[in-house]
Amino acid sequence: MSAPLAATAEVAAVRELAAELAAITTRPWTLMEVCGGQTHAIVRWGLDQLLPPGLRLIHGPGCPVCVTPAATIDAARALARRPEVILCSYGDMLRVPGSAADGGPGDLLGVRAEGGDVRLLTSPLEALALARRHPERQVVFLAVGFETTAPATALLVRQATAAGAANLSLLAAHVRVPPAMAAILTAEGNQVQGFLAAGHVCAVMGTAELEDLADRHRVPVVVSGFEPLDLMRGLVACVRQLERGEARVANAYGRVVRQQGNPAARALLESVFEPVDRIWRGFGVIPGGGLELRAPFRGLEAGARFADLPGGPEAGVEPGAAVGAEGVCISGRILQGRARPMDCPAFGTTCTPEHPLGAPMVSSEGACAAYHRYGRRG
């Protein structure tokens, strides 16, 4: 293992599960985890190095920062350059590259260096507080995240509407995980035969959509947590299904996840947002892959308040030149699970956390950042 676990008992339990995996695996299988937090745990603890021969674990697009399209970043940069605007978002979003089609700086930190008012928030409700403190300015919140953070954005929308905050708007880029899993399974050349599902998403949304996915595509889906034991138990449960020819949802994170999820959070989310087709960086358009404000709240969309924002389908592809060119980022393939970070010629050379070329190296939950942080080169 690449680093010591916190307790000897946990080490022993993990190794027992690794031995169980080796005993039950009779043929090659390819599994994918779809959560960046899980990816970091797997790489940090070297769990993928404990797998038996033939059992392969690949990393999916498990980070909402990573899959936010260049078009959205371009729109945010354009807004941040307006003197009347305060543009705010979460920390990692400030370093994600856009398309730089205008020749300017590729991320929001670059715009801030030019003099744009770009601010880091830790909670969506801080955007409403900013709007109240600066009634003379327009506050735009770049809202990103999976179904886990979308309810907090929905609460912001509700409170801003109730408060009549006319100077607050959203550049919403929330994305939905099950449609992305379906897109991976239906892509040409797909190799994924089973999923470890993100426990935090299921804690909010429950397992109904995953049950539909498992039934429709005949793949096992195991809800897993983020600790080494959680992940190893998830792997064992998934391989057991594959070996038996089963394809259903199993919950290996029962201490947190319930089949119905969090009804209050789901109700809040569904009252404010509705599914929409959405561009994912590295993927293109995923049907139902995003969330947009429902009709009663569309006046809060930044696009409804500001004319001539840049962006379009062509800006949704990961910036960079052709795959395989020297020093070029292949993060689109990495996000799809079709390549590993060390397969990229730029990894650890021209692309580092200090000077990232692609979003998976920018985000604290990106696969490239995980491999770089924990010294994984092979």
**pLDDT at residue 99 greater than cutoff 90:** no
pLDDT value, residue 323: 36
Place of tokens 């700086």: 105
**pLDDT at residue 4 greater than cutoff 70:** no
pLDDT value, residue 350: 87
Q: What pLDDT, in 10s, does the model give residues 194-235? A: 999 999 999 999 999 999 999 999 999 999 999 999 999 999
- Which DSSP state fits 168? E
**pLDDT at residue 336 greater than cutoff 90:** no
312-317 mean pLDDT? 42
323-341 mean pLDDT? 74
Rounded Cα gap, residues 267 and 286, in angstroms:
24
Sign for the CA dihedral angle at 242, 244, 249, 251 comes to negative
pLDDT value, residue 3: 46
- Which DSSP state fits 146? S
Q: What pLDDT, in 10s, does the model give residues 357-378? A: 888 888 878 899 999 998 887 6
Q: Under 8 Å CB-to-CB from 77, ≥6 apart: which residues?
A: 98, 104, 105, 107, 108, 110, 111, 116
Sign for the CA dihedral angle at 259, 261, 263, 266 comes to negative
pLDDT value, residue 228: 95
Rounded Cα gap, residues 247 and 237, in angstroms:
11
pLDDT value, residue 100: 62
| 3-state DSSP assignment of residue 332 | helix
Q: Work out the pLDDT band at 85, boundaries 50, 70, 90.
A: very high
**pLDDT at residue 276 greater than cutoff 70:** yes
pLDDT value, residue 332: 84
**pLDDT at residue 109 greater than cutoff 80:** yes
Please name which of 212, 171, 243, 231 lies closest in space to residue 34, comparing C-alpha atoms. Answer: 231
**pLDDT at residue 103 greater than cutoff 70:** no
pLDDT value, residue 338: 87
Q: Residues of the chain with pLDDT > 90: what percent?
A: 71
Q: Work out the pLDDT band at 144, boundaries 50, 70, 90.
A: very high
Sign for the CA dihedral angle at 57, 62, 66, 71 comes to positive
**pLDDT at residue 295 greater than cutoff 60:** yes
In this prediction the pTM is 0.90
**pLDDT at residue 2 greater than cutoff 80:** no
pLDDT value, residue 326: 40
pLDDT value, residue 335: 87
Please name which of 345, 337, 325 lies closest in space to residue 367, comparing C-alpha atoms. Answer: 337
Classify burial at 176, counting beta carbons within 10 Å of its beta carbon; exposed 0-12, middle 13-18, buried 19 or more. buried
pLDDT value, residue 318: 45
pLDDT value, residue 315: 42
pLDDT value, residue 313: 38
**pLDDT at residue 254 greater than cutoff 90:** yes
Q: What pLDDT, in 10s, does the model give residues 26-58? A: 999 999 999 999 999 999 999 999 999 999 999
